[in-house]
Amino acid sequence: MFEKCSKIDKVCGFCCVSTYNPDIFKHDDVKKEFCGIAGSYDTRVSSLPNCWLQMTKGQRSTYTKKKADRLTVLQISGRL
């Protein structure tokens, strides 16, 4: 918590760094930034189009729906 977020180039109370990979639901060797306030299974800062706090309600909803659809595809294809 309280890491420098690459989306806003400031220290953010919701930003953290972890080696968890949401695509495979396991930890790997690569450190990634995560947004603790983003509502989705994939909360990596790199996958967000903008800072979650600066996105409109419609943008948040669209992002969450797209990520939910992607998760469903991964589950159906057996990649998880």
Q: Given this model, what pLDDT does residue 80 score?
A: 62
CA-CA distance, 39 to 52, in Å (whole number)? 9
Over residues 27-59, the pLDDT tens digits come to 999 999 999 999 888 899 999 999 999 999 999
Look up residue 27 and give its two tokens.
């930890």
Q: Any idea of the CA torsion for 45, 46, 47, 49, to the nearest 10 degrees?
A: 80
Whether the full predicted model's pTM is greater than 0.85, yes or no, is no
